[in-house]
Structure 1
């Protein structure tokens, strides 16, 4: 299909450097995955049977002999995954509290999952009767109140939708190898129509500034022109909205990477890297402090992404009640003041070498830097030891948090 993306990102997206991703769903009830490591560091042939993504629980427990399958049998017996939808109560969900936290972090935009690969929608999506958070489990729309709270705090609101996978509508075997992402997914016209109706409803109800699809889009929807029509609707409703690159079609505005996977997309400016605080996006009760980014680690990751021209989309994984776990809060609260000090707030972010700017540091002194407006920010282990030549800039030296 022909491309439908704009030339260049809108001002708000060029200014933005930090977003919050939220993975929360029925998978937050078992909240279990084997924390083997980060995407991009584990061989493909090991990944799916030992998947560290707790939001993939419905797939991983179907892989014979997997640790998740053994865990599920020991704890839940033969209970089907669907039971977790009814066990999910979201009794402590406070979207205003979430939004205040994300604002303190300096988030520019917030992107919650509205439907993950398990097929459960977090609003009463058209055609989702009996398999959404309004009819079962929490018994309410979880997206609308969050959209209002996020916007009340001055941030942009986006939506994630899994168009490529939906384990509730197709009787495929479990995904066990990378090639199965292509062969074990719904691609037919019926599913394309259902997914299109969902995303049309998200656009009309919530007018999201970010349209974040995952894995791919059903082939029938690419072939019959309905994806192009969907994009045209989105551009009409949200003229300054942006679209990510996981549609399997040339409709995107920016490229994405995930942990270290897709690093070839991290070129130029305006790309987006996403990762969890641990190895999972959905809450994994196994991930303790030793498996969670420290405030220092989070600050380093953010500074590295920003210094190379990207945006950082950091995932938060609430527990099934809607609380953000203490191990995650420790890191988020620990980095908030630091983020407020370093974040760029202009559309003209620049990097050493672009102007008459020169920055050098010893090999054992981790250092990243960028300029925005009249400020040159130098983030380092020992910022006072970094040598800077920057005529006309206010030089801001910032140490990494502990």
Structure 2
């Protein structure tokens, strides 16, 4: 069906009655070919830019209470006519598409995702479907998406398009804007609350056919090869709607990737967990973690809660080690300029990747789990295991746990000569010791390559205790027992377990030690609790040893407190069991638990 037919609404009743092809996403033989470049890329850059960037979280001189600046129209209860009047004044005279793409390149990103239309409904390109755009409504003489597409092609960066398909606060029949259109579906309405309401469904589907579907067609037809379509809020549509979008992408650009937020995994080439998620449990082979540099996605005045270079690079390593892609977001000002702090942070990441990109680009996730000192990535085709060392061993000998495969050599990334290879020896059936005393340490992570021998990598997935450094056991990675207890959303302040409402719930870990003699450890627990909502007692056990503890107030949910609760001893080599179990509740819940650290010490 042609674009102009959708604009008149012709034929959409027929399309609604189509049978959803059940093998649409299951038997896609082209998936591996289509996603090969994305797997190689491992790192991308997101750009959130629109009229909200011009407002910067402020409306009529007052700060709007919204986590994300791009939600200002909804959160600030701004009438659509007033928001549209403000949007008409957008004049991004500092916008330079080539400069944006060069920044992406300097950051080490291999793809760039740009917001073509966010929830406010404003098209940041020259849309012929609707005049509510930067070129027609704001009369800006340039088409930003066209210029970015040209710059990306010139610099070898893949262009991705963000398009909010499920929500549009400007269209009278879409979701989210009940201030101007009281009969609309509410921003927080659940799908099951409205899908059987004939009026709401018909109106919403009119929006899809009048605007969303035709605009997606425009973007796929008029701007050259698109690497991926990044949809959002797919939980707000049904399977039938998802098929309409999926069909257009596959028909118009068969090689274009589709993210999970079109609808769910069945329609996607790769998955998306929560935004800004520090801890995660990927359930898809291919997945992408997206993070802001500060708090908001769109530019917001006074948003100075910047992540440090250490945090950003640590997240890059953690995601790569879990076989994912990291995408960092920048929010340009309304005039199109990118602030100096964002530039500096992205260029620092780029500098790290320039030194160590061999261990990130084109790698797979760690085949041996997560060592205490950092992370691992893996290139099966080159038989190379990369060690991304964040915490340096105090004695200068790095223990590589869980690997039974032979090792040809170990080297620091960048070292070419044979005389620069590091001394390495096997210690026991599963572990290796690498002499790193001569290795200069990188400010963020020192990267070593191990060239393995043999065709098969043999590993032992049980974490090893290393007596020369602190050993951290993250609650997110533990085995959870007890009704209600679960992993939180993984974001900052919530990267632990929560819902500790059953007094005897527990988190458990298993690890192995190769120390023949006893190792004495200080036990440090990181938790959050508030006096009015949490409290009680818990017990920490290491094998048959136990410590009983009282939960204290850390300042509330998301405020992690760390305190030492005593000392226990690892008494022998072998498998050991560590557990935190509730004893009693003083209020609604016991606590949120983030981690337990065993800090080896010498007994005086």
Aligned to 1:334: 348
> CA separation of 1:91/1:269 partners in 2, compared to 1, >3 Å: closer, same or farther?
same
Distance (whole Å) between structure 2 residues aligned to residue 27 and residue 204 of structure 1: 27
1:321 to partner: Cα distance: 1.1
Aligned to 1:226: 244
Please say which structure displays the higher CA radius of gyration.
2
The structure where strand makes up a greater share of residues is 2
Aligned counterpart for 1:244 among listed residues 232, 237, 259: 259
Distance (whole Å) between structure 2 residues aligned to residue 220 and residue 133 of structure 1: 30
Distance (whole Å) between structure 1 residues aligned to residue 76 and residue 150 of structure 2: 36
Aligned counterpart for 1:98 among listed residues 97, 100, 115: 100
Structure 1 counterpart SS, 2:93: coil
Q: Which moved further from structure 2: 105-114 or 210-219?
A: 210-219
> CA separation of 1:221/1:135 partners in 2, compared to 1, >3 Å: closer, same or farther?
farther
1:96 to partner: Cα distance: 0.8
Distance (whole Å) between structure 1 residues aligned to residue 261 and residue 56 of structure 2: 26
Aligned to 1:42: none
1:23 maps to 2:48 = yes
Q: Deviations over 1:307-328 (max 9, x none)?
A: 1110011111000111111221
Distance (whole Å) between structure 2 residues aligned to residue 134 and residue 181 of structure 1: 34
Distance (whole Å) between structure 1 residues aligned to residue 168 and residue 345 of structure 2: 32
- In the alignment, is the contact (CA less than 8 A) between 1:259 and 1:273 conserved in 2? yes
Distance (whole Å) between structure 2 residues aligned to residue 29 and residue 346 of structure 1: 35
Alignment of 1:196-215 (within 5 A): 196-206=213-223, 207-215=225-233
Aligned to 1:142: 144
Aligned counterpart for 1:170 among listed residues 169, 172, 178: 172
Distance (whole Å) between structure 2 residues aligned to residue 217 and residue 342 of structure 1: 38
Distance (whole Å) between structure 1 residues aligned to residue 279 and residue 248 of structure 2: 29
Aligned to 2:389: 379
> CA separation of 1:378/1:4 partners in 2, compared to 1, >3 Å: closer, same or farther?
same
Structure 1 counterpart SS, 2:226: coil
1:301 maps to 2:301 = no
- In the alignment, is the contact (CA less than 8 A) between 2:35 and 2:269 conserved in 1? no
Aligned to 2:24: 4
Q: Deviations over 1:152-193 (max 9, x none)?
A: 111111101000100001373269874468769986332111
Structure 1 counterpart SS, 2:115: strand
- In the alignment, is the contact (CA less than 8 A) between 1:13 and 1:270 conserved in 2? no
> CA separation of 1:182/1:61 partners in 2, compared to 1, >3 Å: closer, same or farther?
farther
> CA separation of 1:97/1:233 partners in 2, compared to 1, >3 Å: closer, same or farther?
same
1:108 to partner: Cα distance: 1.1
> CA separation of 1:385/1:335 partners in 2, compared to 1, >3 Å: closer, same or farther?
farther
Which blocks of at least 5 consecutive residues in structure 2 are unaligned?
1-19, 180-184, 195-199, 414-440, 446-604
Aligned to 2:271: 255
Structure 2 counterpart SS, 1:158: strand
Alignment of 1:150-161 (within 5 A): 150-161=152-163
- In the alignment, is the contact (CA less than 8 A) between 1:269 and 1:308 conserved in 2? no
> CA separation of 1:81/1:393 partners in 2, compared to 1, >3 Å: closer, same or farther?
farther
Q: How high is the TM-score relative to the length of structure 1?
A: 0.79
Q: How high is the TM-score relative to the length of structure 2?
A: 0.54
Q: Deviations over 1:22-63 (max 9, x none)?
A: 0000000111179xxxxxxxxxxxxxx94311001110101x
Aligned counterpart for 2:282 among listed residues 262, 266, 271: 266
Q: Deviations over 1:124-177 (max 9, x none)?
A: 223212x10111333421101111112211111110100010000137326987
Q: Which moved further from structure 2: 143-152 or 215-224?
A: 215-224
Aligned to 1:43: none
> CA separation of 1:142/1:114 partners in 2, compared to 1, >3 Å: closer, same or farther?
same
Structure 2 counterpart SS, 1:321: coil
Higher relative contact order (CA 8 A, sep 6+): 1
> CA separation of 1:293/1:393 partners in 2, compared to 1, >3 Å: closer, same or farther?
farther
